[in-house]
Structure 1
Amino acid sequence: MAKLLYRTGERIYLHKFKTLAASLIALVIAAALVLGLGASFTGDMSIPGTKSELAMKVLNEEFPSLENSNNGNIQMVFKAPEGETLESETVRQSLQQLLAKLSSDADVASIAGPYDNQSLSANKEIGYATITYKLDAGEVAETSLEKVEAAAEEARALGIQAEFSGNIGSPIPEIGGLSEVVGIVVAFLILAYTFRSFLVAGLPILTAVIGLGIGILLVLIGTNIMEMSSVSITLAVMLGLAVGIDYALFIISRHRQSLAEGKSVQQSIAIANATAGSSVLFAGLTVIIALLGLAVVRIPFLTTMGIAAAITVAAAIAIAIVLVPAMLAIVGEKARPKSKKAGSRGEKSKSTNRWGKTVVKYPLPIAVAAIMLLVLISLPALKLETGLPDNGLKSEETTERRAYDLLAEAYGPGYHAPLVVVVKAEPAAGGAATGDRIGDAVKGLGAIDNIATITEPILNQSGDTAIVNVIPGTGPHNSKTKDLVQNIREYAGTIAEAGSVELMVTGMTAVNIDISDKLNEALPQFALLIVGLAFILLGIVFRSIWIPIKAVLGYLLTLTATLGFIVFVVQEGHLASFFGIPEAGPVLSFLPVLTAGILFGLAMDYEVFLVSRMKEEYSRTGDGRKAVLAGMANSGSVVSAAGLIMVVVFASFIFVEDTMIKSMGLALAFGIFVDAFIVRMMIVPAIMTLMPRAAWYFPRWLNRITPKIDVEGESIHKVQQAAEAPK
């Protein structure tokens, strides 16, 4: 592989402008395809095969008229002025006029006001109107939402509190906003400090943006082939941008080191592509494998998220080993450091070398202190609770949150956690009538705790299936609501044994509970899979038994510490205001599995870049302590800069409004910080120092059957020697 990338680097140098043109043409072609095909994201996060999904299927079959529509809808919630009710003549007249004005919108199909849908609260102070549109939610014009906002403002001017929520708007999250721009600017400043050159600092940013553009456009094209959840695009942007900058950083750093040693531009590019490029290729493929590995949990929306992110990572790899060398060739001598000392700053940082000497001098206390710190941070993970965010977790400054609170005030917290119970009775010869058996089954629900209200059964046309709406006494994120779902299912099992009545629970609350449970079950299986994968991959690369074990244990510490921190902040609410989290609540249900996969891939990146330089030195000298010092001196500062850039990119997503994106950015930023600066810069060199020779132990029989992967570029030494030999 190293030889191939070396020759590729030489050819790219000779055809640098053609390579740049080809990259830009690829970007234009992808953009043209997106314009022609369009993009189609969904907000669906269902998991086929769960109990609630099976119940929903029965519900839709037996009550086709109730099947969910994709049409846009908005729920406007009203609260009367103090001392009045919604039935007061002036208030009633004002609301009817407002709703009549909204009904003039040509896209509105129907409006059911609080006086038509019997939604007035017990004290008549709160009620809601449901606005249904003729178009799909994503196709409703922005002007329709503006009319609703104007109506709400008009109501507020009359002293009536008016709030609203709904599903109108594109499911695709906004990208390219201020937070991402800030992240890129900070990354540029880090690169400028690392390289001491604004010109060179701009290259990783430029190439990463081009790679991200190609990757995102490919993802948008992919939405025409498979269903993709809307959050997939954000994850793809996060990873594509972060790894794009980092991979370019590694190659450019190695290039400048070779230039500082006196190599020609062409030879330096070829060497950088062969050495750092090999590491980029292997590390990037590891990230892709981890992302595609999300498919093993058999959860469709998680699989497509992994595919989308893998596409942008693949684009970043291709750009790093093709376009980055071309840009370096175009820049030419301008990338050469003014002095060897300046040029090697990214490769041989004095500060990193001082830290390396400190770790080598005190390996045991540093390793113990770092491990104990991560164990302490990990402890809150034992209390992990997962769920999906709703309007109740948004800021009180949003109208959606205020609408949520008004509805809870009017109808109780369980209003936001409705359950739909499907009761199906098979015909029984000589037994009780079907309707009577359904009624008896529904009556039994009344004995279950934490049920606020139960509606009368609604029978289907054949009379053998009924639906019952159950309102819990607690909200959707309360553990008692989850217990209620479990108790109803236990009751269902009891009556199924006693007779031919099947009882199932569904509704969004039950669906979300089942999604969380399914994802929590998948986490240990997925973690075991990628731990095994890490052991095999690192064993092949470094031809060692102990290095993969050490890397796996370090990764597990990173993962548990990240989950502990997220529970501490998101679930328990500590430091929540600092990170802009408006309300403490459950951790995003798919975040643990997603974090496990992404952190695995990125942790292996840093492991490969750091330890490969140690292996190169150990192979040359056979001295384990010198190998650690060489690895820290040559790659430590680059890994630190790369980790800091990735932290900044991920952290920039913490400040967006969307709760899911915010929690993803926080988890990945903290996870990368822990892995790059505590695990890789403290624990790894300390353990390697404590095991100077044993760390590189590899049985001879295993060495014979293990394929060889040249990540350090050993195979190009002969090529270099031949090129440098006098003719």
Structure 2
Amino acid sequence: MSKYLFKLGRWAVNHKNRVMGGAIVTLLIVALLALIVGPAFNEEISIPNTESATAGEILEKEFSNKDEASPGAINLVFKAPKGETLESDTVNEKITELLDEVKKDKKIISVASPLELGNLSEDKTIGYAVVSFNSPPEEVSEKSKAKIIQKIAITNNAGIQTELAGNVTFSELEIGGVTEVIGVVIAFLVLAITFTSFLAAGMPILTSAIGLGIGLLLVIIGTNYFDIPSFSMSLAAMLGLAVGIDYSLFIISRFRQELAAGHNVEDAAAIANGTAGSAVLFAGVTVIIALLGLAVAQIPFLTMMGLTAAVCVLLAILVAIILVPAILGIMGHKIGPNRKNTFLKKLTSRKNKSNTWWDIVTKRPLIVTIIGIVLLLVLSTPFFHMELGLPDNGTKSEDTIERRAYDLLSEGYGPGYHASLIVLLKAEDLKNEEELLVVSKEIEKIDNVKYISPPIPSPNKKYYMLSVTPKTGPNDSSTKDLVREIRNIPNNTEISDDVSLKVTGQTAVNIDISEKLNDSLPIFATIIVLFAFILLVIVFRSILVPLKAVLGFLLSLGATLGFVVFVVQDGNLIDLFGFPTASPVLAFLPVIVIGILFGLAMDYEVFLVSRMREEYVHSGDAQKAVLVGIKDSSSVVTAAGLIMISVFTGFMLAPDPIIKSMGFALTFGIIFDAFVVRLTIVPAVMILMGKSAWYLPKSLDKIIPNIDIEGTTLIEEINKNRDKTI
């Protein structure tokens, strides 16, 4: 593999202008295509063949008008000033004035006031008007939204709090905001300090931006052919950007080393591609396999998330092994080790060259190992009471109009207003109407039921629909228990066993998704762990090194999910990290963390331990191998980890709860894995194991293929040819 990448690197340098031009032309063509077709995200989050999904299909088929799409609707939620109600004349006059102004938009087909709808809260202080458009929610224009936002000032200025809810979105998901830019700036500073050169620091960011741009534009085009949710763009962006910068960092670092060793620009770039490029290719393919492994859960939107992120990682790999060598050929010695920035050189210089930390790790490996493991185990403990859920407007920032409307509706009608359930009964399964009443009364008996509507028959009389409002909110454990109790009614009552009762609604869908994801976690984690072990046995030709790597991954994974539960679910330190409120852990977050953290953990393991193995093969001295590995690879792994943290932190600071949760989990996942496991526990354990770390049974040694990702064979061949030339 290293020889092929060496030839590819040499070819890229020799055709540097064509490669660079081709990359730019590709970016422009993909951008033009994306502009022509536009995005077509599918925000539906469901799992086929679950009870709620099946019931939802029945509901849409039997109770909705098939010829008409559901119109966009905005609920104008009002709260009367203190001491007044929405029935007060002065208050009602202002609401009427507002609604009259809203009606002037020709895109609006109907407006109904709170009094007309009769939806006032018990104390008459909260109610909502419904504004219906002549188009589906996603087609309501920004101009129409802006008009409504502008006109609600009429009631707000009169002391009537007015917020917006409904199926029309006002707070759009943003990719590439200010917080993400901050993360990139920090990554640039890390690179500048690593390379002691501002010019060299800009190269990884430039190349990763090109790869990420092509990747995201391809995803946008793909939304027209696949059901891709918009938040998958966030995962693809943060991962594609982070690995793109890291992969370029590894190759550019090796290029500078080869220049320092006396190679010319062409040879240095080719050798860097054959050695560091091999590790990049292996690491990138590992990440892609982990992302595609999300399909194991058999959840369509999760599969699409993994696929879109894998596309961006693939582009990052291609850019690193093709475009980066070409740019190295163009820049040459301008980014070489001898071209250092004076300011950065002074900033990073140290009078005391001793490394106290590595002295502690290598001289007291047992103590370091015990402390590291205990720390991660303590952080893992909250994981055992993790609850999964999906975000709604109640988890958004209080700065968003949807969150304020959510709070007003909860205040007026109770938290269960947002957790409405729909119960479907098949008419032919009921012996008579008395059985229908029995079901209705059984639901009404449940403690957590606030309201149940009378049964509504479908137009063809095949089904009955009942609407159930719980007392608790959509993510409350009591609501989940209520769904289970309703579903068990046919088993716990005297009605016929043949009665088909299904529960749906967004809350039931979210509960089914969470349970499905929770059930798939052990299977997915087991597959990942076994895959990692087999892969690392092949790479390192050892049993104990892969075992140590897998156990380290499990420790960092447990600590990551435990810390997420501690902060996000339990509400500790939420103000520090900017979470608006405590809430269940994002349902698909654990699966995503397992997949991505596995890939990145293997990256760091390979870059760090492969150098140790290379030295051990040459010297046979296990302790020296660890010291050489630390000396040669720790700085690059540290820089790579800091870059990952910088990029993920930028996304963690975003206001959207989905992006924030993913950024938060991945930020601390890298902190625990890169710095606690790979740069602390791994070297300490390697010292403790000594030569036994590299033991491999002879029977396995004959079977396992020899994958030279370090490029040892390539380097030996280059050195022989060099000696002959001399």
- TM-score, normalised via structure 1 length: 0.96
Amino acid at match of 1:584: A
Aligned to 1:33: 33
- C-alpha distance 121-510 of structure 1, shift in aligned 2 (>3 A): same
SS at match of 1:289: helix
- The answer to whether the Cα contact below 8 Å between 2:593 and 2:666 also exists between their aligned partners in 1 is yes
Cα distance per residue 1:681-714 (max 9 Å; x no partner): 0111111111111111111221211122110102
Alignment of 1:221 onto 2:221 = yes
CA distance in 1, matches of 2:355, 2:268: 24
Match for residue 632 of structure 1 among 630, 633, 636 = 630
CA distance in 2, matches of 1:339, 1:420: 68
CA distance in 2, matches of 1:150, 1:482: 39
CA distance in 2, matches of 1:67, 1:324: 54
CA distance in 1, matches of 2:36, 2:399: 39
- The answer to whether the Cα contact below 8 Å between 2:42 and 2:230 also exists between their aligned partners in 1 is yes
Cα displacement (A) at 1:136 = 2.7
- C-alpha distance 67-392 of structure 1, shift in aligned 2 (>3 A): farther
- C-alpha distance 572-443 of structure 1, shift in aligned 2 (>3 A): same
Aligned to 2:381: 379
SS at match of 1:709: coil
CA distance in 2, matches of 1:351, 1:169: 57
Aligned to 2:468: 470
SS at match of 1:52: helix
Cα displacement (A) at 1:116 = 2.0
SS at match of 2:707: coil
CA distance in 1, matches of 2:262, 2:672: 37
Cα distance per residue 1:534-567 (max 9 Å; x no partner): 0111111111111111111111111110111111
Aligned to 2:258: 258
Cα distance per residue 1:601-639 (max 9 Å; x no partner): 111110111111011101101111111111110000100
SS at match of 1:201: helix
Match for residue 423 of structure 1 among 422, 425, 434 = 425
Aligned to 1:113: 113
Alignment of 1:681 onto 2:679 = yes
- The answer to whether the Cα contact below 8 Å between 1:72 and 1:140 also exists between their aligned partners in 2 is yes
Aligned to 1:271: 271
State how 1:346-495 maps to structure 2 within 5 Å: 354-426=356-428, 432-433=431-432, 435-495=433-493
- C-alpha distance 662-339 of structure 1, shift in aligned 2 (>3 A): closer
Cα distance per residue 1:236-293 (max 9 Å; x no partner): 1000100000000011111111111222222111111111000000000000000000
Cα displacement (A) at 1:168 = 3.0
CA distance in 2, matches of 1:575, 1:456: 45
- The answer to whether the Cα contact below 8 Å between 1:250 and 1:276 also exists between their aligned partners in 2 is yes
- The answer to whether the Cα contact below 8 Å between 2:475 and 2:584 also exists between their aligned partners in 1 is yes
Cα displacement (A) at 1:314 = 0.3
- C-alpha distance 534-499 of structure 1, shift in aligned 2 (>3 A): closer
- C-alpha distance 254-496 of structure 1, shift in aligned 2 (>3 A): farther
SS at match of 2:52: helix
Aligned to 2:141: 141
Aligned to 1:282: 282
- C-alpha distance 177-696 of structure 1, shift in aligned 2 (>3 A): same
User: Size of the alignment, in residue pairs?
Assistant: 722
- The answer to whether the Cα contact below 8 Å between 2:244 and 2:320 also exists between their aligned partners in 1 is yes
CA distance in 2, matches of 1:21, 1:563: 44
Name stretches of at least 5 consecutive residues in structure 1 with no aligned partner. none
- After superposition, the CA RMSD in angstroms is 2.3
Aligned to 1:606: 604
CA distance in 2, matches of 1:552, 1:340: 39
Aligned to 1:48: 48
User: What percent of counterpart residues are identical?
Assistant: 52
Cα displacement (A) at 1:98 = 1.1
Aligned to 1:578: 576
Deviates more, 1:304-313 or 1:215-224: 215-224
CA distance in 1, matches of 2:132, 2:696: 67
Cα displacement (A) at 1:70 = 5.0
Alignment of 1:3 onto 2:3 = yes
CA distance in 2, matches of 1:531, 1:394: 35
Cα displacement (A) at 1:69 = 4.5
Cα displacement (A) at 1:16 = 1.2
Amino acid at match of 2:678: R
- C-alpha distance 499-621 of structure 1, shift in aligned 2 (>3 A): closer
CA distance in 2, matches of 1:14, 1:50: 56
Aligned to 1:204: 204
Cα displacement (A) at 1:339 = 8.9
- The answer to whether the Cα contact below 8 Å between 2:198 and 2:341 also exists between their aligned partners in 1 is no
Alignment of 1:22 onto 2:9 = no
- The answer to whether the Cα contact below 8 Å between 2:361 and 2:680 also exists between their aligned partners in 1 is yes
Amino acid at match of 1:380: P
State how 1:223-262 maps to structure 2 within 5 Å: 223-262=223-262
Cα distance per residue 1:487-513 (max 9 Å; x no partner): 111213335873432211111111111
Cα displacement (A) at 1:479 = 1.1
- C-alpha distance 589-582 of structure 1, shift in aligned 2 (>3 A): same
Cα distance per residue 1:1-41 (max 9 Å; x no partner): 00011111222221111111111111112112212222211
SS at match of 2:500: strand
CA distance in 1, matches of 2:411, 2:637: 52
- The answer to whether the Cα contact below 8 Å between 2:196 and 2:341 also exists between their aligned partners in 1 is no
